[in-house]
Structure 1
Amino acid sequence: MSLTTLIYSHVLQAELTIEITEGVQRAYKIAVVPFAAPQGEKLNTDVAQMIAQDLAGSGYFKVLARDEMLTHPTQPGQVKFRNWAAIGQDYLVIGFITKDNNLYHIQMSLFDVYKKEQLKGLRITVEAASLNMAAHHLSDAIFQKITGIPGVFTTRIAYVTSVFDAQNKPQYKLQVADYDGENPISIAQSKEPIMSPAWSPDGQKIAYVSFENKVSEVFIQTLKTGERRSVAKFKGINGSPAWSPDGKRLAITLSKDGNSDIYILTLADLSLRKLTQSWAIDTEASWSPDGKQILFTSDRGRLPQIYVMPSNGQGSAKRLTFDGNYNARGSFSADGKSIVMVQGAKGNYRIAVLDLITGSNTVLTDGPLDESPSFAPNGQAIIYARRKGDNEILSTVTLDGLTKLDIQALTGKVREPAWAPRK
């Protein structure tokens, strides 16, 4: 897996579903009782099951199986706390759904079992097509109430796929979907590779690299309108776009002067400022949350490692990574205290997190070919691409490495995930 591979990697089409591959330890025990449906109606969306799946996948909760529930209350007055305390539950979620014309009213209640009190009640009204998103909204509310951390269940991801047509030629697509892979939308497609999607800080635009004109070119596309513009089409490499926190600039990789370097592109006038000036390959820039620093991958020490330097160019680059003979694709956590990266040793590439305060390095995944890590907006999980058998799929892992989720490819391959910021 060379730097060139990281710049020019491509992917194959896949459908996405969630599969939990590992359990958790020291998690909150919670029961999510099936919600009562409108009388005489069988809903296509099991709201309670979606909430249970969201919470279980977060790594913070151990969800009680339905066949272990002693009772199935749907109204607060039906709750007998002793029943749930007897089977060791910390929290209880119940609810019911009513229908008024074409609108569904979802009423959810969250209880602390041992305090014997209701922590939160929430009512959401949606159309049938929005029941899934309503379930995710309820999951976010439950997660934040119990943990104090914002949830990510209503966020989105971007990723790249390709599918072979009747002539056995690939059709590349840039897709946007809910965090769990549901409701995918294709926002760009080409017979040539698409790669390196990057979300703008407001979540309204995506920058990406396309080879549709037979050369690499950086585009910015507005999701709501579909409008897009080319912002970098220089001779050689145009790659790895990364938004500044204020959304006014991109850090990009260019080789227009012969060598691969990091440049800062001001979007208002498309002016360029060269940031790195080295004989080495410098690529894969990422901004610090305050915009004052830039991470990048460089082989200036003969092997790919991650370096950091001031984004204004006033200072030299400092090497950050020393574990493993390969460290690349680095990006900061939301609080700027750690970075996630691809770490390689002896041909095994895994996702690792480096604590910038303590210097500790934690490997979260098993490999052998894990790549393209991206932090969740709340910093509690990472999405990445990995190989599973003959497939290449997307997965998430919590920061303690204990909970792994496969957004499983049913057919084909999928890569280059990017987790969107919270709206």
Structure 2
Amino acid sequence: MLESIASISRRRSLAALVALGAVFGAGSALAQVRIDIAGVGGSRIPVAIVDFRDESKSPQPIAAIIRADLERSGQFRSVDAPADLSEISSPVYADWKARQADALAAGTVNKLADGRLDIRFKLWDVVKGAEVVGQAQAVHPDDARLAAHRIADVIYEKLTGEKGVFATRMAYVTKAGRRYSLVIADADGEGAKPALNSPEPIISPAWAPNGRELAYVSFESGKATVRVQDVQTGQRRVLADYKGTNSAPAWSPDGSKLALSLSREGGTQLFVMNRDGSNVRRLTRSNAIDTEPCYSPDGSQIYFVSDRGGGPQIYRMPADGGPADRVTFNGNYNISPAISPDGKTMAYIARIGGAFRLSVMDLATGQAQQISDASDDESPSFSPNSKLIVYASRAGGKEVLMTTTLDGKIKTPLLVTLVEVREPTWGSFAAQ
């Protein structure tokens, strides 16, 4: 039964149902670490990113940010570039071929009279011996990191044909002492800023498709209520404050509705409501605990967790309610489903021999694969291009946010900290 997980305080919405009063461990301040790629990623594009000329005028290391972004994607590997090559107008392609680079990028940073930074770059295809793209952007110095992410996105798209996600944002929850924070950060975990601080727990954050709002569960009123917050203005509104628990909000792909878990009618079941909280309708009618809903990308189905079969498993049903089909069959404990934006893959947490590990399933074939060998993974969330997964875990006694490729071969720690960090959620392309 789902009640058996009461002792596992880091399990997401299930813990909200059965361990609302759990005590979380305290820790110290956040500590950023250098990106470190682990594993073997197979065939990756060798690319050289030359330090930008006059990069010292920027408060951020532009070239280093771009390199880290591209490496973290699992699609690229960095080729060392001589430190004295800080400006290239017409590269000698033979030299870069000798360095085994397939692509090359370089640029400049200049300070404008109004204080903004003029950041320019060019990308060359070394194999074809041709310039691919050249761009310029004028940004406030505070936006230098975002400018670097945007350049990485351009390089990624030009060389892979797919959209990059480096300029998107994530949200996650931290707990330091008795203080909880809902944090918004860049896709590399940097630039973190609190959107909300509270002495009471915050759980289950979920980005709206418009990239401007976050839904989450707050305990500030003494019980679990679902709230929505505008991340720009900080304006908040209560969406669900019914008798019993109100938990696990999930936005529909068009942002018009939210599915959530309520116990207002006795028992914990799935409901759906309009984005303003109106037209609340019950979706499931079981004797079990039904929770952790998430929509398919086309909005036609809802995946959720239920113990109707005796233990927590993942099920799927029509978005308007109806018969549910079981999706997971390996093991007796599978929770926290997340569906990739392209609809091909489901990420989830499976209990394997007492360890909670990130797994993925090919939804077309039902084939499942464990892609983590850790023991305390939680809360997977896909990048908007479906190529990466962010999740929370523990390593060496520390809390860590990780990204991984879908095959698990390239993992990157984004944030390693002694405070509790959990429930990362990756925003859409609109979350920039």
Q: 2:420 aligns with which of 408, 413, 419?
A: 413
Corresponding residue SS for 1:19: coil
**Residue aligning to 1:167:** none
Deviation at 1:18, TM superposition (A): 4.7
Deviation at 1:26, TM superposition (A): 0.8
Q: How many residues are treated as equivalent by the alignment?
A: 412
1:6 aligns with 2:19: no
Q: 1:113 aligns with which of 116, 126, 130?
A: 126
2:58–2:109 contact (8 Å) kept in structure 1? no
2:360–2:369 contact (8 Å) kept in structure 1? yes
Using structure 1 for the length normalisation, give the TM-score: 0.93
The amino acid of 2:150's aligned partner reads H
Distance in 2 between residues matched to 1:42 and 1:227, nearest whole Å: 36
**Residue aligning to 2:76:** 61
2:335–2:349 contact (8 Å) kept in structure 1? yes
The amino acid of 1:58's aligned partner reads S
**Residue aligning to 1:265:** 273
Q: 2:402 aligns with which of 391, 395, 399?
A: 395
Deviation at 1:88, TM superposition (A): 1.1
1:70–1:83 contact (8 Å) kept in structure 2? no
Corresponding residue SS for 1:316: coil
Distance in 1 between residues matched to 2:135 and 2:334, nearest whole Å: 45
The answer to which of 191-200 and 29-38 deviates more is 29-38
Q: How does 1:160-175 map to 2 (within 5 A)?
A: 160-164=173-177, 170-175=178-183
The amino acid of 2:267's aligned partner reads N
1:309 aligns with 2:312: no
Q: 1:193 aligns with which of 187, 201, 222?
A: 201
**Residue aligning to 1:202:** 210
Corresponding residue SS for 2:12: helix
Q: 1:96 aligns with which of 87, 108, 132?
A: 108
Q: How does 1:291-330 map to 2 (within 5 A)?
A: 291-313=299-321, 315-330=322-337
Corresponding residue SS for 2:63: helix
1:34–1:94 contact (8 Å) kept in structure 2? yes
**Residue aligning to 2:350:** 343
Q: How does 1:144-159 map to 2 (within 5 A)?
A: 144-159=157-172
Corresponding residue SS for 2:157: helix
Q: 1:284 aligns with which of 292, 307, 319?
A: 292
Corresponding residue SS for 1:76: coil
**Residue aligning to 2:260:** 252
Deviation at 1:284, TM superposition (A): 0.2
Distance in 1 between residues matched to 2:120 and 2:57, nearest whole Å: 17
| Gap regions ≥5 residues in structure 1 | 165-169
**Residue aligning to 1:87:** 99
CA RMSD of aligned residues (A): 1.8
The amino acid of 2:102's aligned partner reads D
1:48 aligns with 2:63: yes
**Structure 1 residues 86 and 229, CA gap change in structure 2 (3 angstroms):** same
The amino acid of 1:97's aligned partner reads V
**Residue aligning to 1:137:** 150
**Residue aligning to 2:35:** 19
**Residue aligning to 2:377:** 370
Identity among equivalent pairs (%): 39
Corresponding residue SS for 2:390: strand
Distance in 2 between residues matched to 1:213 and 1:73, nearest whole Å: 56
The amino acid of 1:14's aligned partner reads L
Deviation at 1:271, TM superposition (A): 2.5
